[in-house]
Amino acid sequence: MASSPSLSEASLDSPEPVRSSASAASAPPISKSPNIGLTKLHEPEDPNSAIVDIFFVHGLTGNAYSTWLHQDRETKTYWPYDLLPKDYPDARILAFDYDADITQFWGPASSNRVGNHAENLLGALSRLRAKTNTVLTISPERQLILTIPQDGRKIVFIAHSLGGLVTECALNLSRSSPQADIRSIEQDTLGIAFLGTPHYGSDYAA
């Protein structure tokens, strides 16, 4: 993996909404319109019982909806929402959306933009995992103690095109972070499915 810029505190502390799915029978909680940030597509009834996070990252000119959508004249199938939960009901399934306009990347600032999106991806995932696993306990002195234990839930990334480079950059940032909760993301990553990622430059992109 190529070296990446350091992770800024702003990317972790800035508020970012997480949209959630209502039920498996409803329409996807996402559309072609901008869905910048995280969208939660599926999780078990008890969020803490999820055994793996499956994380979709789209590529250049794509978005978190159209990239994973199969459409014909009569039907639309958004497979991370319509199909995947049937095979993995105990998984938490999420999609990350970012501005992947081609005019923003193949210029002098392209490396910085990949780094910025990687920071946002990493920060959003870290905040979600911390929020999901926050524990409230009572000490022997009967004081409330709020703790955020290391998640330990495994992560699988499914990354298309430029999304693979954003994912790699995020994991590099995670590995070098002095913060245990950030560092645990790289440690808990079980695998990455790269789909047409241009590891050797855009001329080799699938």
* Selection from 67, 7, 83 nearest residue 35 by Cα: 67
Lowest mean pLDDT among 78-82, 183-187, 202-206: 202-206
Helix, strand, coil percent values for the chain (each to nearest 5): 35, 25, 40
- What is the mean predicted confidence (pLDDT) over 147-158? 72
Q: Within 10 A of 189 (CB to CB), how many other CB atoms are there?
A: 19
Instruction: Tell me the domains of the chain and their CATH numbers.
Output: 9-204 (3.40.50)
Q: Within 10 A of 177 (CB to CB), how many other CB atoms are there?
A: 19
Residue pLDDT, tens place only, 103-128: 555 555 454 588 889 999 998 988 88
- What is the mean predicted confidence (pLDDT) over 194-205? 72
Residue pLDDT, tens place only, 18-29: 444 444 446 777
| pTM for the model | 0.74
Chain CA centroid to CA 174, Å: 13
Q: Alpha-carbon distance 120 to 37, whole Å?
A: 8
- In the predicted structure, residue 129 carries a pLDDT above the cut 90: no
Give the gyration radius of the chain's Cα atoms: 18
Cα-Cα-Cα-Cα dihedral sign, residues 22, 24, 28, 30: positive
Residue 179 makes CB contacts below 8 A (sequence gap 6+) with: none
- The Cα-based distances of 171 to 77, 167, 187 in angstroms read 30, 6, 9
On the CB side of 152, CA atoms within 13 Å amount to 6
Question: What's the confidence (pLDDT) of residue 100?
Answer: 78
CA angle 39, 40, 46 (to 5 degrees): 160
